[in-house]
Amino acid sequence: MLSHKSDRGISVGTGQDLYRRAKRLIPGGTQLLSKRPEMFLPDQWPAYYRRAKGASVWDLDDIHYTDMTTSAVGSCPLGFADDDVNTAVVDAIGAGSMSTLNCPEEVELAELLCELHPWAQMCRFARTGGESMAIAVRIARARTKRSVVAVCGYHGWSDWYLAANHADADALGEGMLLPGLDPGGVPRELAGTTVAFKHNDIDALHAIASQHAGALAAIVCEPQRGERPTPGFLEATREIADQTGAVLIFDEVSAALRLTHGGVHLLYDVEPDIAVFAKAIGNGFPIGAVIGTADVMEAAQTTFISSTYWTERIGPTAALATLRKFARIGGAERLTDAGRRVQAIWRAAGEAAGLQVRVGHPDMPAFSHLEFDHPAPQAVRTLYCQLMLERGYLDNGNCYSTCAHTPEILSHYEEVVSDAFARLSEIVRAGRVIDELRGPVAHTGFARLTPS
């Protein structure tokens, strides 16, 4: 472990000490791949937080950082510990967050989600994105009495999804979100029940549909992640679902609220049979929602989908408070404006420093992504993260904007990025990227961790 004094004269060792203990106790170190310190800055990332508020995070040494990463993987679009959402949740806790009877908030939330998505009439709730997707696929299989699921993109850790990697060494590889996901522990007998295609690849979807005619239960995709879907792609998913009798499921776990108030599919005039929400709609509190047409959702009654903590009160309370506030303040526009500013800052700083950078995604400003044109891009990216950490920022060039990224915060960010890029450019030109790194290069995807 490296325990060092950063340029700001502070120790960043306490979180790393705890993380070393964690790796002996918790396989993989954390509960979510995207929160592994190795994904950002191995041996140096603060790893744990004591407090979080707005765009600010304080680590275990009480060091303050401004968070310009994914802000908890896109789960807090209003910013951390939003006052209005927290007040609603604290009230819910005071009134009893659990009871033998059901909480009325779940009915109110079902009504609100169906109002925002007029094609949907019914709703089930869970607490995480992965389990909500598993529910959606179960309902689709129950409805169609078929097994095969055509899928593109990332949809969580469940057996139905990872089964795709049994059929093909790396079906969930390039073009999917997490190459190399290992399906260990997923029954081999599920091979062939989930087949992967790439986003926008209409021909591949047609091929799956004809190969599995009569067996296709569902087509699962995100309507949009970074790039806008190519014209005709979403329409084709609808058409193929209609022709084959499959259920069309749009995964809005990450995309919802980033471009418009509700699912991003609302912008494209294509209606799915089911849409799935989680993460952002609870602003940091666990809630997942599966909405759909009454015709399809009624199939939930022909199978068993039931769990104790899907009935607690905090999730739906947080979602109601989040969705209402987000509508009131024009949240989607604010995320878009902040993201556009981040992308402009990176472009201008790259130009000023003479660094070749590629900046995405213009079609989805709320997901900003920075890449360095260099023979060792991941090493440069890791060094960028190190330089920004020294300057008080959590920043690995992957930014999900939030409403807490105010113009004032972004003005300061602009100055700091310019300074870090200038230093990075000097180091790159001197060919000293690896020499300047105080730890290993960051991991890029799924990698087995060994305790150290």
Ligand X SMILES: Cc1ncc(COP(=O)(O)O)c(C=O)c1O
Stretch that binds ligand X, among 96-104, 127-135, 200-208, 289-297 (CB under 6 A): 127-135
**How many residues appear in the chain?**
452
Query: Which of the ranges 87-95, 129-137, 192-200, 313-321 carries the binding residues for ligand X, by CB under 6 A?
Result: 129-137
Q: Does 331 bind ligand X (CB under 6 A)?
A: no
Alpha-carbon distance values, 355 to 160, 347, 427 (Å) = 43, 9, 11
Nearer to ligand X, 251 or 390 (CB): 251
Tokens of 180: 């190399």
Q: Which is nearer to ligand X, 58 or 157 (CB)?
A: 157
Could you tell me the smallest distance in angstroms from the CB atom of residue 265 to ligand X? 13
Binding segment toward ligand X, per CB under 6 A, in 22-30, 152-160, 230-238, 400-408 = 152-160
Q: Judge contact between 234 and 219, C-beta under 8 A.
A: no
Q: Is 272 in the site for ligand X (CB under 6 A)?
A: no
Sole binder of ligand X in the list 29, 37, 46, 156 (CB under 6 A): 156
Contact letters for ligand X, residues 374-413 (x by CB under 6 A): ----------------------------------------
269 phi and psi angles, rounded to 5 deg: 60, 30
Looking only at the bridges linking them, the beta strands covering 216-221 and 194-196 are unpaired
- Contacting range for ligand X; rule: CB under 6 A; set: 54-62, 141-149, 153-161, 289-297: 153-161
User: What span, in angstroms and rounded, lies between the C-alpha atoms of 380 and 432?
Assistant: 10
Please return the burial class of 112, using the count of CB atoms within 10 Å of its CB with bins 0-12, 13-18 and 19+: buried
- Asked if 133 touches ligand X (CB under 6 A), the answer is yes
Tokens of 348: 């201008």
Quick check: 128 binds ligand X (CB under 6 A)? yes
Q: Does 229 bind ligand X (CB under 6 A)?
A: no
C-alpha distances (whole Å) from 54 to each of 65, 80, 81, 257 are 11, 5, 7, 18
287 binds ligand X (CB under 6 A): no
124 binds ligand X (CB under 6 A): no
User: How many residues make contact with ligand X (CB under 6 A)?
Assistant: 15
The piece of 10-18, 247-255, 397-405, 419-427 that touches ligand X (CB under 6 A) is 247-255
Residue 45 vs 367, nearer CB to ligand X: 367
CB of 182 to ligand X, least distance (A): 17
- Residue 222 in the binding site for ligand X (CB under 6 A): yes
User: Is 293 a binder of ligand X (CB under 6 A)?
Assistant: no
CB of 241 to ligand X, least distance (A): 19
d(Cα 224, Cα 226) in Å, to the nearest integer? Answer: 6
Q: Which is nearer to ligand X, 33 or 349 (CB)?
A: 33
Sheet holding 398-400, edge to edge: 357-360, 367-372, 398-400
30 contacts ligand X (rule: CB under 6 A): no
Residue 278 interacts with ligand X (CB under 6 A): yes or no: yes
Which residue, 279 or 391, has its beta carbon nearer to ligand X?
A: 279
Q: Which residue is nearest to ligand X (CB)?
A: 129
Beta-bridge mates of residue 67: 394
Choice from 117, 141, 155, 166 touching ligand X (CB under 6 A): 155
Nearest to 111 by CA among 280, 320, 267, 328: 320
CA dist 115 → 67, 119, 120, 130 (Å):
33, 9, 8, 24
β-bridge pairing 64-67 and 56-59:
antiparallel
Angle at 37 between CA 344 and CA 318, to 5 degrees: 70
Q: Kindly give the residue spans of alpha helices, DSSP state H, lying in 305-406.
A: 314-329, 331-353, 377-390
Name the one range near ligand X by CB under 6 A: 123-131, 370-378, 405-413, 417-425.
Answer: 123-131
The answer to whether 105 contacts ligand X (rule: CB under 6 A) is: no
Stretch that binds ligand X, among 64-72, 103-111, 250-258, 348-356 (CB under 6 A): 250-258
Cβ of 423: how many Cβ atoms within 10 Å? 17
Q: Is 251 in the site for ligand X (CB under 6 A)?
A: yes
x/- contact string, 47-76, with ligand X (CB under 6 A)?
--------------------------x---
- Distances in Å between the Cα of 156 and the Cα atoms of 125, 256, 278, 422 are 16, 16, 12, 39
Q: What is the DSSP letter of 230?
A: P
* Rounded-to-integer distance, Cα 350 and Cα 418, Å: 8
- Could you list the residues that contact ligand X (CB under 6 A)? 73, 128-130, 133, 153-156, 222, 251, 253-254, 278-279
